[in-house]
Structure 1
Amino acid sequence: MNKFLALICSSLMMIGIAAENEKPNFLFIFADDMSLDTIGAMGRYNCQTPNLDKLMASGASFNHTYNMGAWGGAVCAASRAMLNSGLFVNKAQKGINQVPHWSEIMKKNGYATYMTGKWHVPGTPRFDVVKDPRPGMPKGSGYNRPKDMDDYLNGWKPWDKTQGGFWQGGIHWSEVVANNGIEFIEQATKEDKPFFMYIAFNATHDPRQVAKEYIDMYPLDSIEVPKSFLSNYPYDEEMGCNPVGLRDERLMPSPRTEFAVKVHRQEYFAIATHMDEQIGRIFDALEKSGKADNTYIIFTADHGLSVGHHGLVGKQSMYNHSMKVPFFISGPSIKPEQQFDMPIYLQDAMATTLDLAKIAKPEYVQFNSVMPLIEGTKKVQYSPIYGKYTHTQRMIQDGDFKLIVYPGIKVSRLYNISKDDLEMNDLAKNPEYAAKIAELTTKLKKLMKDMDDDMDLDNPKKSQSSKKKKSKKKKTDH
């Protein structure tokens, strides 16, 4: 009898050890151009995202999640380089080609790795299985539209499949991504190996094409024009967002009109709702697979989008609508209905998966896991928050205040984001805030140094000249 009891105890112990050692699965879902404003549960606009709302409620939501910015107009390329390398923005441009990618770290630690959808990172995706990798954006956008109601009624249409774009190949790209994800999940039910899925939608990037039924969900008279609407941003050229020279800004006529903004927001919400429906299909497949209880889901986006805020259309700015994105995480150890307000960067996703998988974070990875924040062992992730766009913009967010600097024209803009979340009241010209601007400028210079930013804020032209000389010398050397 004693031997029998000992055998049972031994068996139970082995089962416990096996359960403890069982690695969780990871489903990472990445959207493109998706601002926090598009999440229905945030209550900002009437955009319907029921599946993402459920994901938000099922776990933890970080409501101040930022992208650091970019070295060029393709902000998504910089964001994805940071995400897959674990390096901050000023190191990621080169580092993405020099360090193991997120997928390679997971693979080395026993994970089956899978990727489908948008890549837009140098080289080919480094996953075990790659299906239908896509370029930065589909071709087929309508530009400088709509000029008026006649142009709207008779011009480019989101549901016109002859325009190519998301319709290229016959099935909407968001549906292809979902189909591929579901196929992999069904295959994973036959395998014992834990999986890491990287599901990257091109939506909600333009061309914002979708079936007419989704457009009809958002009648134009129901679309709200952002309160921060401007016909043109006063420093659009100086900040690198020339409405003639920058592709994103050419999507809408300039000066901006409320009518054009409504049309673009109609299409933006429609493609977001369609993508949300595809995400719901993936969630259903995961639930049916029996793998859901041991799978962590992380959803975020590479950056936000203006679509009419501040007279801008794209994402090449330091305003919240362009920098802030959703960041939701749910899974076995995540309690539901948690919301956190401390700032994080969206690229914390990589370090978070390593933490949950009990994989040691490589020394070169600069981003951090959000798990200590969720568990309450840490209260601050990053302070202050840094942002950049090419050589034309720098930003620091410290507590309640955000300072945006346009170095080339020596212009600063100051916002109290705790009182002015839409960043409509520029305090920079108010003499009462001169000391605050000086304080934040000093902090920004230090932060830039910490971030390996080689721009001289006081003499940006000298910085650019030095960079050109170095670039020329390198070309000569080769």
Structure 2
Amino acid sequence: MKLLLSLTLLALTASQAVRAEKPNILFLFADDQSWETIGAVGGEVITPNLDKLVEEGTRFDHAYNMGSWSGAVCVASRHMFNTGRTVWNANNLIKSEANWKKKHKGTPNPDATKSWSQLMGDAGYETYFAGKWHVSLFDPKAIFDHVGTVRPGMPKAKPSGYNRPKDENDKEWLPWDKSMGGFWEGGTHWSEVLKDEAIGFIDEAAKKERPFFMYIAFNAPHDPRQAPKEFVDMYPVDKVKVPENFLKKYPYADQIGCSKSLRDEKLMPFPRTEYAVKVNRQEYFALITHMDAQIGKILDALEASGKADNTYIIYTADHGLAVGHHGLVGKQNMYEHSLCPPLIINGPGIEAGKRINTRVYIQDIVPTTLDLAGATPEQTIDFQSLLPLAKGETGQGRDRIYGAYLDLQRCVIKDGWKLIYYPKADVHRLFNLEKDANEMNDLAANPEYASRLTSMKTALAEEMKAQGDPGLASKANRPK
């Protein structure tokens, strides 16, 4: 009996040691943040804490969201994160689960897909969540061990926050005016509330041996773009640059679903003015800098907890945003500013100051964390781990990147070229991303690139088939 007890204690001690060796994972998730809005990337935005993550970790310069079946692109992106499935597979899961609930009158589906957090829990992690959710497939309180404030898709916006500013005298809506609600609803800015809850989670996790997985989701810098006045004052309007690819109106706006009827596009007046773009970018930048300040405090708390040395910090957003590029405001387009958010990984064994130029998907983060956790889930994960890239074991990323928005837009990226297709207008746009980073020189009608256009049409049709795209495959390869 004594021998059995000794062996049992030894086994328990060994098991605890294995658990203790697993790294902690802090996932910091922004909303509507373009890749260009981190100071270390060379942009206008002041982000000292994100800059430090870049300096001490590895940044992916070309990380993509695949697109959306919904005007709320974040819905698709977050479902991809929380299921590990690609865009149309994630959409099929939602439909399948809805059919199950309808057929079985709400009875839980025993074969339902597990969430990202549940898979991390299966791997021995204590899981925490606070912030923006916007994932209909799962209730966060049912899939995380600890849950703070669960926020909706966006803070409530007042009508005066749209179609502005009309001119220099338009001061009806101001980002620091708490009477406008939005991020100020409840009295304390939502980014600050999330910071406080994240620090509370870290303080609790510091008392435990079990590794943690924290999913901290900011609503910032989604509109309404509200920040304290001292942050807005950091960006004088006359110093804010208008994007080089600024247009008063995007020529295919109506055919691609980015007309005056799309909520995001109604934030600025039509046609676009340089002044309106400057003000919107000023407020966008201020909200990012305010969020960065909260992130700094979260990282300070992590350091003070004694857990930092064994913690991977992963930072990204659900997609990018236009805010004046190409005459667009939102994320419902196939341009780099809207498809690409930042992606930074920082932690043990990750090279400091490294830049990775190969193309990846942001949802590749999911199998990356499972890889770090030593997990081998039985269910399918469509994405692939970034660890081999981050640790320098390979330089090979994705051969192709696919993008989709409703049935209105498709794109494929291959060999440094991008093809965008608009089915309603039956228009192809072809860009050389290596020579034309701002996507201003459409080469589709240039006979010199006819063979490239043909090969890219073929690549798009093949990628749509591979992704289980519900339509447009035949149109995508239609000869001219």
Equivalent positions of 1:372-451 (< 5 A) are 372-451=388-467
Report the AA paired with residue 299 of structure 2: F
The Cα of 1:79 is off from its aligned counterpart by 0.3
Q: Could you give the per-residue CA deviations for residues 266-292 of structure 1, whole angstroms, max 9, x where no partner exists?
A: 000000000000000000000000000
- Alignment partner, residue 130 of structure 1: 147
CA contact (8 A) 2:409 2:422 kept: yes
The question of whether the paired residues in 2 share the 8 Å contact of 1:355 and 1:361 is answered with no
- 2:221 aligns to what? 204
**Hey, what's the Cα distance between the residues in 1 that align with 2:202 and 2:254?**
47
Whether the aligned pair in 2 keeps the contact of 1:351 and 1:361 (CA below 8 Å) is no
Distance 1:15 1:391 in 2: 54
Query: CA 1:197–1:17 in 2, change beyond 3 Å: closer, same or farther?
Result: closer
Which TM-score applies when normalising by structure 1?
A: 0.90
C-alpha deviation, 1:306, in angstroms: 0.3
Partner of 2:117: 103
1:453 corresponds to 2:460: no
Residues 139-181 of structure 1, C-alpha deviations (whole Å, 9 max, x = no match): 0250000011111xx3101001011100000100000010000
* 8 Å contact kept, 2:322–2:337: yes
Residue 233 (structure 1) shift: 0.2
Give the whole-Å Cα distance in 2 for the aligned partners of 1:443 and 1:190. Answer: 52
Letter in 2 for 1:458: S
Deviations 1:86-118 (A, max 9, x none): 000011123255410000001112111000000
3-state SS in 2 of match to 1:150: coil
Other-structure match for 1:307: 323
User: Could you say which residue in structure 2 is the equivalent of 1:179?
Assistant: 196
Q: Could you tell me how far apart the structure 1 residues matched to 2:221 and 2:20 are?
A: 38
In structure 2, the partner of 1:149 is 168
One-letter code of the match for 1:61? R
- Alignment partner for residue 120 of structure 1, among 124, 134, 150? 134
Q: Residue 262 of structure 2 corresponds to which residue in structure 1?
A: 246
User: Which amino acid in 2 is paired with 1:124?
Assistant: D
Structure 2 CA distance for partners of 1:173 and 1:206, relative to 1, 3 Å = same
Amino acid at match of 2:353: E
Distance 1:290 1:21 in 2: 13
Quote the Cα distance in structure 1 between the aligned partners of 2:371 and 2:474.
40
Between the two proteins, the alignment pairs up a number of residues equal to 444
Query: Is the partner of 1:198 in helix, strand or coil?
Result: strand
Find 1:48's aligned residue among 46, 61, 65.
46
1:471 maps to none
1:228 and 1:39 mapped to 2: Cα distance? 19
**Partner of residue 268, structure 1:** 284
Cα separation, 2, equivalents of 1:227 and 1:314: 17
CA RMSD of aligned residues (A): 1.7
Deviates more, 1:424-433 or 1:260-269: 424-433
Residue identity over aligned pairs, in percent, reads 55
Determine the structure 1 residue equivalent to 2:387. Answer: 371
Task: Provide Cα deviations, 1:375-417, integer angstroms capped at 9, x if missing partner.
Answer: 3333323211100000000000001210000012210000000
Mapped partners of 1:55, 1:16: distance in 2? 32
Structure 2 residue 349 is matched with structure 1 residue 333? yes
Kindly indicate whether the alpha-carbon contact (under 8 Å) linking 2:351 and 2:391 is maintained by their aligned counterparts in 1: no
Contact 1:407 1:458 (8 Å CA) reproduced: no
CA distance in 2, matches of 1:445, 1:362: 31
Is the Cα contact below 8 Å between 2:20 and 2:210 reproduced in 1?
no
Equivalent residue, structure 2, for 1:324: 340
- In 1: Cα distance, 2:17 partner to 2:226 partner: 47
C-alpha distance after superposition, 1:37-89 (max 9, x if no partner)? 1110000x311001000001111111100000000110000000001100000
Provide the residue aligned with 2:74 in structure 1.
76
Structure 1: state its 5+ residue gaps: 1-10, 461-478
Separation of aligned partners in 2, 1:423 and 1:85: 32
Instruction: Give the alignment's TM-score, normalised by structure 2.
Output: 0.90
Could you tell me how far 1:362 is from its partner in structure 2?
3.9
Cα distance per residue 1:395-451 (max 9 Å; x no partner): 000012100000122100000000010101111111111111111101110110000
User: What residue identity is the alignment partner of 1:220?
Assistant: V
Residue of structure 1 equivalent to 2:34: 35
**Aligned AA (2:321):** L
